Amino acid sequence: LLTLWPNYFCEAEWPPLLHCQNLLTVQKAKSIAIFQGILDRVIGRREGAKPTYAAWPCTKLKLSVGQSVLCRPQMARGEYQVNRPHSKFRQQKLNAWQPILTAGSVLPTFFVIGLAFIPIGVALLIASNNVQELVIDYTDCVMEEKLCKDEISDPTKIMENPPCRCLVAFELHHDFLAPVYIYYGLSGFYQNHRRYVKSRDDVQLLGNPKHVSSDCFPFQYAENEIPIAPCGAIANSMFNDTFLIKYKIVDQSDAVVPLAYDEIAWPSDLSKKFRNPDSVPLSAAFEGTSKPPYWRKPVYELSNVSSASGFQNESLIVWMRSAALPNFRKLHSRVLHVDTFANALPKGNYTVEITYNYPVASFDGRKRFIISNASWAGGKNSFLGIAYIVVGTVCIVMGCVFLFVHMKFGHSLSCHVIDTVLRRKRRCCRKKSLRTTKTTLIYFN
């Protein structure tokens, strides 16, 4: 009663819902008990004062606590005070728009999406097919009739194993237009494993070589508790094969293809996630740290240029960005287009001398050497273009099917829908009427 009518109307001013002479007497008798419970819970008792309750002749309740009289002004007829914030957001009355899906709006949408996606997919597919690419699997590379993968099968003895160098010959049947990139590919290597992805220390990579996180375990410390820089399983398993590409020129000595190892990492990674210590030279900055167990040389010797060594070595940065799938490729270097290779990697015979350092036999993996150029859409990737074409085709087909259904059965379906809506509306009105009646009876009983 307090919630709906907090001012306790007199008999003559009770809301129309309560003008029932048979229930009025019962309601008066119950009002005092209800009001007493609310007083004890909400207002509380004053020290030394005893609350009293009285019903006025007009049936309006009066509360007195000591000398205080708590009674709100009487509201006019038809006015109901509701204890809730007057906000559209809090009352969930914000303006909204709900589109009505009709044949006139859905069918054009299907056709527009289809007509837009198919040309985009065709353009992406053509761009991908225009990318020139050569992939060579060199896992079973041989040196002096010995498999290199067997010679370096134990990575813990990497310093004891002499480098395994093998030659792989290949031929380019067409000029590879600039820009040309060199990639390495790995198969069966799960870089997306949760523990592997976490096994790094981002604080250390920001220029704090002696800061070691517990996530790097078991590649945190070397012997005598010397911190490893960079720590963790990702850095420890860094790809370290090297490639020396030679172009065979008739009646001349072989020309070495110049490679550059800069501008291969994401600029955001290079500027925000990886920094070298402030000390110069880098060897002094990394003093008191140890190289990862599977590395042949410390991090500050990864490059002959100091600015490209240490934590800002771009080959390291590329490797530290984990791949999502077990079969992946990463950028190794880019061809410097100078002299003979100014505009392209010319067609002809080549050899690549591979320093086989990276072991893959332990997890049955495979290694690939990849030469590729790029188009306006990036590297060679047919999936994106095919996906656009498939989605566009499906939309066109669905649009045709729905158009046929609408043309053949549209009138009967519309009548059926309208009849269903009207029946539901009538049923809803009957339910609301019954609900209101039940609420009224429950309130008075």
- Least Cα distance to 301 among 280, 319, 283, 277 occurs for 283
- Across 61-73, average pLDDT: 42
Give the pLDDT band (50/70/90) at residue 76.
low
Give the pLDDT band (50/70/90) at residue 54.
very low
Give the pLDDT band (50/70/90) at residue 433.
low
Task: Please say if the pLDDT value at position 40 is more than 60.
Answer: no
Give the pLDDT band (50/70/90) at residue 89.
confident
Summarised one tens digit per residue, pLDDT across range 148-200 is: 888 887 666 666 667 789 999 999 999 999 999 999 999 999 999 999 999 99
**HSE (CB half, 13 Å, CA atoms) of 284?**
4
Summarised one tens digit per residue, pLDDT across range 293-342 is: 989 899 999 988 777 889 999 999 999 999 999 999 999 999 999 988 99
- Across 283-299, average pLDDT: 91
Q: What pLDDT shows up at residue 39?
A: 46
DSSP bridge partners of 185: 329, 368
What is the gyration radius of the CA atoms in the chain, in angstroms? 40
Higher per-residue pLDDT: 103 or 196: 196
Q: What pLDDT shows up at residue 416?
A: 59
Summarised one tens digit per residue, pLDDT across range 389-404 is: 999 999 999 999 999 9
Task: Please say if the pLDDT value at position 419 is more than 50.
Answer: yes
Least confident stretch, 193-197, 199-203, 417-421: 417-421
Give the pLDDT band (50/70/90) at residue 96.
confident
Task: Please say if the pLDDT value at position 412 is more than 70.
Answer: no
Q: What pLDDT shows up at residue 84?
A: 67
Q: What pLDDT shows up at residue 179?
A: 93
User: Which range, 77-86, 366-375, 435-444, is most confident?
Assistant: 366-375
Q: What pLDDT shows up at residue 335?
A: 96
Q: What pLDDT shows up at residue 268?
A: 93
Least confident stretch, 22-31, 240-249, 255-264: 22-31
Task: Please say if the pLDDT value at position 99 is more than 90.
Answer: no
Q: What pLDDT shows up at residue 425?
A: 59
For residue 166, give the H/E element and its range: strand 164-172
The residue count of the chain comes to 445
DSSP bridge partners of 368: 137, 185
pLDDT-above-70 percentage for the chain: 71
Q: What pLDDT shows up at residue 438?
A: 46
Task: For the chain, give every domain's residue range.
Answer: 1-85, 120-388
Give the pLDDT band (50/70/90) at residue 241.
very high
Summarised one tens digit per residue, pLDDT across range 335-364 is: 999 988 999 999 999 999 999 999 998 889
- Least Cα distance to 245 among 176, 320, 158 occurs for 176
What lies within 8 Å, CB to CB, of 313 at 6+ separation is 299, 302, 303
Local structure of residue 269 (DSSP, 8 states): I
Q: What pLDDT shows up at residue 87?
A: 84
Q: pTM (2 decimals)?
A: 0.69
- Least Cα distance to 111 among 384, 388, 398 occurs for 398
CA-to-CA distance for 278 and 286, rounded, in angstroms? 11
Give the pLDDT band (50/70/90) at residue 279.
confident
CA-to-CA distance for 223 and 236, rounded, in angstroms? 16
Summarised one tens digit per residue, pLDDT across range 120-143 is: 999 999 999 999 999 999 999 998
| Residue 161 CA to its chain's centroid (Å) | 42
- Least Cα distance to 120 among 388, 394, 393 occurs for 388
Q: What pLDDT shows up at residue 415?
A: 58
Q: What pLDDT shows up at residue 158?
A: 64
Measured at the CA of 226, the angle between CA 199 and CA 311, to 5 degrees, comes to 55
Per-residue CA distances from 72 to 35, 60, 67, 75, 102 (Å): 14, 11, 16, 9, 54
Place of tokens 């490893």: 228
Tokens at 298, concatenated: 């410390």
Task: Please say if the pLDDT value at position 16 is more than 70.
Answer: no
- Across 370-386, average pLDDT: 92
- The SS3 assignment for 246 reads strand
